[in-house]
Chain A
Amino acid sequence: MPILKTFKGGVHPAEYKYLTDQAPIRIAKVPSQVIIPLQQHTGAPCEPLVAKGDKVRAGQKIGDAKAFVSSPIHASISGTVSKVAKHPHPLGQELPAIFIDSDREDNWMEGIGPVRDYSTRSPQELRGIVREAGIVGLGGAAFPTHVKLTPPADKKIDLVLLNGAECEPYLTSDHRIMVERPAEVAEGLRLIMRILGVSRALVGIERNKPDAIAALQREFSAEPFIEVVEMEVKYPQGSEKQLIKVLAGREVPSGGLPFDVGAVVQNVGTALAIYEAIALGKPLIERVITLSGDGIAHPSNLLVRIGTPLRDLIGECGGIVGDLRKVVVGGPMMGLAQYSLSIPVVKGISGVLMLSRDNVEIVEEGPCIRCGRCLAVCPMRLSPSLMADAVKARDIASAEACHLLDCMECGSCAFVCPAKRHMVQWIKYGKNEIAAKRQKK
Chain B
Amino acid sequence: MSTEADKDTKDEATEIPNLVVSASPHIRDGVTTRQIMRDVAISLIPAGIASIYFFGYQALLVIVTCILGSMLTEAATRKILKRPHTLADGSAFVTGLLLAYCLPPSCPYWIGIVGAASSIVLGKELYGGLGYNPFNPALVGRAILLAAWPTQMTTWIMPRAQWFGRLDGVTGATPLTALKLHGQTTPLLDLFLGRVGGSLGETSALALLVGAAYLLWRGIIDWRIPTSFTLSVFLLSATLGVDPFFAILSGGVILGAFFMATDYVTSPITPKGKLIFGLGCGAITVLIRSFGGYPEGVCYAILLMNCATSLIERYTQPKGYGIVPARRRPS
Q: A334-B25, A337-B20, A367-B132 are in contact. Are A372 and B269 (CB under 8 A)?
A: yes
In contact, B32 and A420 (Cβ under 8 angstroms): yes
Check: B331 CB closer than 8 A to any chain A CB: no
B residues 240-265 in Cβ contact with A at 8 Å: 264-265
CA distance A419 to B90 in the complex (A): 13
CA distance A13 to B30 in the complex (A): 10
Neighbour of B26 across the interface among A86, A337, A340, CB < 8 A: A337
B residues 312-331 in Cβ contact with A at 8 Å: 317-324
B131 contacts across to A, CB distance below 8 A:
367-370, 419
Check: A96 CB closer than 8 A to any chain B CB: yes
B324 contacts across to A, CB distance below 8 A:
253-254
Q: Which one, B11-19, B169-177, B178-186, B196-204, is touching chain A?
A: B11-19
Say how far B330's CB is from chain A's closest CB, in angstroms: 15
A336 contacts across to B, CB distance below 8 A:
24
A325 contacts across to B, CB distance below 8 A:
18-20
A residues 369-403 in Cβ contact with B at 8 Å: 369-373, 375-376, 379-383, 385-386, 402-403
Q: A13-B29, A325-B18, A339-B19 are in contact. Are A251 and B24 (CB under 8 A)?
A: no
Neighbour of A83 across the interface among B2, B35, B318, B323, CB < 8 A: B2
A44 contacts across to B, CB distance below 8 A:
none
Say how far B137's CB is from chain A's closest CB, in angstroms: 13
Check: B27 CB closer than 8 A to any chain A CB: yes
Q: In the complex, which residue of chain A has the Cβ closest to the Cβ of B319?
A: A381
B residues 1-54 in Cβ contact with A at 8 Å: 1-6, 8-9, 12, 14-16, 18-29, 31-33, 35-36
Check: A415 CB closer than 8 A to any chain B CB: yes
B130 contacts across to A, CB distance below 8 A:
367, 369
In contact, B29 and A371 (Cβ under 8 angstroms): no
Q: Which of A96, A376, A418: most chain B CB closer than 10 A? A: A418
CA distance A52 to B4 in the complex (A): 12
Interface size on B, residues (CB 8 A): 50
Check: A341 CB closer than 8 A to any chain B CB: yes
Check: B89 CB closer than 8 A to any chain A CB: yes
In contact, A371 and B24 (Cβ under 8 angstroms): no
Check: A431 CB closer than 8 A to any chain B CB: no
In contact, B4 and A83 (Cβ under 8 angstroms): yes
Check: B77 CB closer than 8 A to any chain A CB: no
Check: A338 CB closer than 8 A to any chain B CB: yes
In contact, B269 and A370 (Cβ under 8 angstroms): yes
Say how far A315's CB is from chain B's closest CB, in angstroms: 9
Q: A340-B9, A342-B9, A385-B269 are in contact. Are A417 and B21 (CB under 8 A)?
A: no
Say how far B113's CB is from chain A's closest CB, in angstroms: 26
Interface residue SS majority, chain B: loop
A411 contacts across to B, CB distance below 8 A:
24-25
In contact, A96 and B1 (Cβ under 8 angstroms): yes
Q: A314-B14, A342-B15, A416-B29 are in contact. Are A381 and B320 (CB under 8 A)?
A: yes
In contact, A251 and B270 (Cβ under 8 angstroms): no
In contact, B16 and A380 (Cβ under 8 angstroms): no
Q: In the complex, which residue of chain A has the Cβ closest to the Cβ of B314?
A: A386
In contact, B19 and A369 (Cβ under 8 angstroms): no
CA distance A322 to B22 in the complex (A): 20
Q: In the complex, which residue of chain B has the Cβ closest to the Cβ of A13?
A: B27
In contact, A335 and B26 (Cβ under 8 angstroms): yes
CA distance A169 to B25 in the complex (A): 11
Check: A433 CB closer than 8 A to any chain B CB: no
In contact, A341 and B27 (Cβ under 8 angstroms): no
CA distance A334 to B321 in the complex (A): 20
Q: Which one, A21-29, A66-74, A220-228, A353-361, is touching chain B?
A: A353-361
CA distance A368 to B35 in the complex (A): 15
Say how far B270's CB is from chain A's closest CB, in angstroms: 7
Q: Which of B2, B21, B27, B265: most chain A CB closer than 10 A? A: B27
Say how far A123's CB is from chain B's closest CB, in angstroms: 29
In contact, B4 and A382 (Cβ under 8 angstroms): no
A417 contacts across to B, CB distance below 8 A:
28
CA distance A245 to B20 in the complex (A): 36
In contact, A353 and B33 (Cβ under 8 angstroms): no
Q: Which of B4, B28, B271: most chain A CB closer than 10 A? A: B28
In contact, B322 and A87 (Cβ under 8 angstroms): no
In contact, A333 and B27 (Cβ under 8 angstroms): yes
Check: B222 CB closer than 8 A to any chain A CB: yes
A83 contacts across to B, CB distance below 8 A:
2, 4
A2 contacts across to B, CB distance below 8 A:
none
A248 contacts across to B, CB distance below 8 A:
none
In contact, B26 and A383 (Cβ under 8 angstroms): no
A100 contacts across to B, CB distance below 8 A:
none
B28 contacts across to A, CB distance below 8 A:
361, 363, 414-417, 420
B317 contacts across to A, CB distance below 8 A:
383, 402
Q: In the complex, which residue of chain B has the Cβ closest to the Cβ of A87?
A: B6
In contact, B20 and A84 (Cβ under 8 angstroms): no
CA distance A353 to B25 in the complex (A): 13
Check: A306 CB closer than 8 A to any chain B CB: no
In contact, B19 and A241 (Cβ under 8 angstroms): no
In contact, A418 and B12 (Cβ under 8 angstroms): no
CA distance A340 to B18 in the complex (A): 10
In contact, A326 and B1 (Cβ under 8 angstroms): no
A416 contacts across to B, CB distance below 8 A:
28-29, 31
In contact, B321 and A409 (Cβ under 8 angstroms): no
In contact, A375 and B269 (Cβ under 8 angstroms): yes
A153 contacts across to B, CB distance below 8 A:
none
Say how far B4's CB is from chain A's closest CB, in angstroms: 6
Check: A327 CB closer than 8 A to any chain B CB: yes
B12 contacts across to A, CB distance below 8 A:
311, 340-342
In contact, A245 and B269 (Cβ under 8 angstroms): no
In contact, A370 and B264 (Cβ under 8 angstroms): yes
What mask results when residues 283 to 320 of chain A are scored 1 for a CB within 8 Å of chain B, else 0? 00000000000000000000000000001001000001
Q: In the complex, which residue of chain B has the Cβ closest to the Cβ of A320?
A: B16
Q: Which of B26, B89, B130, B322: most chain A CB closer than 10 A? A: B26
In contact, A424 and B322 (Cβ under 8 angstroms): no
Check: A147 CB closer than 8 A to any chain B CB: no
Say how far B177's CB is from chain A's closest CB, in angstroms: 35
In contact, A424 and B23 (Cβ under 8 angstroms): yes
A87 contacts across to B, CB distance below 8 A:
6, 9
A sample of 12 more A-B contacts (CB under 8 A), given A83-B2, A83-B4, A425-B23, is A48-B1, A85-B3, A251-B321, A325-B18, A326-B19, A326-B26, A332-B24, A334-B24, A353-B26, A355-B26, A369-B130, A372-B264
Report A's interface with B, CB cutoff 8 A: 11, 13-14, 48, 52, 83-88, 92, 94, 96, 169, 241, 245, 251-254, 256, 311, 314, 320, 324-328, 332-342, 353, 355, 359-363, 366-373, 375-376, 379-383, 385-386, 402-403, 406, 409, 411, 414-420, 422, 424-425, 428
Question: Can you list 14 pairs linking A and B with CB atoms under 8 Å apart?
Answer: A14-B27, A94-B6, A333-B25, A339-B19, A361-B28, A369-B130, A370-B131, A372-B222, A403-B320, A409-B24, A417-B28, A418-B31, A418-B32, A420-B32
Shortest beta-carbon contacts, A-B, top 7: A411-B25, A367-B131, A425-B23, A342-B9, A311-B14, A372-B269, A332-B26
